Every structure is written in C-alpha cells, then in structure tokens.
Amino acid sequence: MDPVTRLGVVGCGLMGSGIAEVATHSGIDVRVAEANRDAVETGRRRITASLERGVRRGKLSEQQRDQALTKLSFTHDLNDMADRQFVIEAVAENRDIKTDVLRTLDKALEDSAAILATNTSSIPIVDLAIATERPGQLIGMHFFNPVPVQQLVELIPALTTTPETVQRTRDFASQLGKQAIQAPDRSGFVVNALLVPYLLSAVRMAESGAAHPDDIDQGMELGCAHPMGPLRLLDLIGLDTAQAVAESMYEEFKEPLYAPPALLRRMVAAGHLGRKSGRGFHTYDA
C-alpha cells in the first residue's frame, strides 16, 4: 500500500508533539489538533523548541528544521482532519476524553478506509474501537517517551481490528523509522505490564523510608545500566500519567502490584508531577 502522506495528530503534549515531530522528519504532511488556541500555541512552541534543540546538538541542519516546520499545520477544530489518511490520538489518558475525540474524528474523516490509532498506554483498545463506526480500522499505536529517541512502537490490535489495518500500521511505523512489536489488548500491553510494577515498587521503597530516592535511582543506573533510575523515569513520564496507567491496570487485574501507592497519589494531588511541573521525586529547572 502507498505510504501515508497526510497524518493527523490530536493532542500536542509530550507524546503528541514527539509523534508530530518524528513524522515531519519522514517528510509527511502533519496536521496537529489541540483543544483551543492557547493549547495550539503551546504545542507549536514545544515542537519548535525540540527542533531547535536538534539544531543546537548538531543532529539537524537549519534547513532540515525549516523543512520540518513547513510540513506542520495546526488547528483547534477536529473537522480539519477530514482529509487525513491516518490520525493518531494522543490526548490525556482519560477514557471519556479519548472516546469523545475518536468519535468526532470518526465522523470527520472523509475516507472510510482512513485509520484511527490511539496512543493510550492502558485503556482497552476494543472499548475505544466499538465506540466508533470503524472498529476494523481502529488500532493501538503506543509510542514511548521521548518519542524522537525511543525506537519502539507497540501495535495493539483490538479483537475487531482487521489484518489490513495491522499491516498498514506496521508499514507506517517503519515509515516513521520505528521498530514495531505486536502487543496484546490487555491493560499495560507488553511494556507497561512489566515496567509499571517495577516503578511502583520503587515508590513503595521510597515511601517506606527504606532507601533514599537518590540511592534507588543510582542503584538501577549504576547496577543495571538503566539510562535513568525508576523515580527519575517516573518524573519523565509524569506522575499523573503514571497514576492513570496504574489505575487502569489495577482496574483490569485487581492485583495489588498495580495499585498506585499513597505517596504517588499525594504527590499528584500536590501538583508534584515530575519534570513538567519542575518537581517530582527530584527537582528540575523551569
């Protein structure tokens, strides 16, 4: 099948902006939707800042940066996605919000063969698929943070997803330069099912006072060659996102190892969300 030339990305937070940026590097025309004008401007700044950083670090030429910017357009109206061949939803990890966005996109898309992908980390794909009129063309496409760096994409077909949709999404992942694995439609898929219990164990270890957060992180960085320790990684993911993912997994399996510890909940309540708020288990410059 022909490569995707017109992509839509809904949501321009950490994940959406990364997905949009990566797609522009593959020469794809990318339209990004955010909820309102302010959010559009924030999203635009986030992508531009990341491209600038690429230039500063010698990874992109100024010409490549400018080229990427010409491939991007922004909107706050989901109906502007009508001509897209493929749309990735990357809004907040909230079932109602995602369902709403996907239903609206489903109605807006002109091409009945267009694919809707969701970047949910933990919501069952089938629940989102059957909320639309195109359950065969809805699939999970789970990217990892930071998207420009992490090679992996998990492809998660729902029971309703057609083999053609899976193949087209696999081809699209290669077009983006990503490596795809197929994951089951179970909360947490493959990676979060393994990662989240580990991260929550680190929170419990800090919560109990058994070890200092710096020692927990250093232990895994220096002892196991992880690029960052579990508490630093939680700060990168966002404590609110991590809590939402853990809650979905707990709801699905009712296993105590997925239950968000009280410390995580209290930190989220206090607005200590990690890097994005400047403070989590560690502190960060603005």
Least Cβ distance, residue 13 to ligand 3HC (angstroms): 12
State the greatest distance between any 2 C-alpha atoms of the chain, in Å, as a whole number.
57
User: By C-alpha distance, which of 19, 11, 20 is closest to 40?
Assistant: 11
Cβ neighbours of residue 193 under 8 Å, at least 6 residues apart?
186, 187, 249
Q: Which residue of 6, 83, 104, 148 would you call a contact of ligand 3HC, by CB under 6 A?
A: 148
Least Cβ distance, residue 272 to ligand 3HC (angstroms): 17
| Separation of alpha carbons 205 and 202, rounded Å | 5
126 vs 141, beta carbon nearer ligand 3HC = 141
| Separation of alpha carbons 111 and 279, rounded Å | 44
User: By C-alpha distance, which of 3, 166, 15 is closest to 88?
Assistant: 15
Q: How many residues bind ligand 3HC (CB under 6 A)?
A: 16
Does 192 participate in binding ligand 3HC (rule CB under 6 A)?
Answer: yes
Least Cβ distance, residue 221 to ligand 3HC (angstroms): 9
152 neighbors 178 (Cβ within 8 angstroms): yes
Q: Which residue of 74, 86, 144, 250 would you call a contact of ligand 3HC, by CB under 6 A?
A: 144
Does 228 participate in binding ligand 3HC (rule CB under 6 A)?
Answer: yes
Burial 212-236 (b: 16+ CB within 10 A, else e): ebeebbebbeeeeeeeebbbbbbbb
Catalytic residue among 26, 192, 248, 272: 192
Interface region with ligand 3HC, contact rule CB under 6 A, candidates 70-78, 129-137, 140-148, 168-176 = 140-148
User: By C-alpha distance, which of 270, 226, 267 is closest to 243?
Assistant: 267
CA atoms within 13 A on the CB side of 279: 6
Interface region with ligand 3HC, contact rule CB under 6 A, candidates 102-110, 138-146, 177-185, 251-259 = 138-146
Least Cβ distance, residue 165 to ligand 3HC (angstroms): 21
- Could you confirm whether 79 is annotated as catalytic? no
165 vs 187, beta carbon nearer ligand 3HC = 187
- Could you confirm whether 36 is annotated as catalytic? no
138-143 and 152-157 beta bridge pairing:
antiparallel
The binding track of 231-270 with respect to ligand 3HC, each residue x by CB under 6 A or -, is --x---x---x---x-------------------------
| Helix H or strand E encompassing 230 | helix 230-237
**Amino acid at position 3, single letter:** P
Residue 152 sits at φ, ψ, to 5 deg, of -85, 145
Does 187 participate in binding ligand 3HC (rule CB under 6 A)?
Answer: no
Catalytic site residues?
A: 121, 142, 154, 192
Give residues in contact with ligand 3HC (CB under 6 A).
50, 57, 121, 144-146, 148-150, 192, 227-228, 233, 237, 241, 245
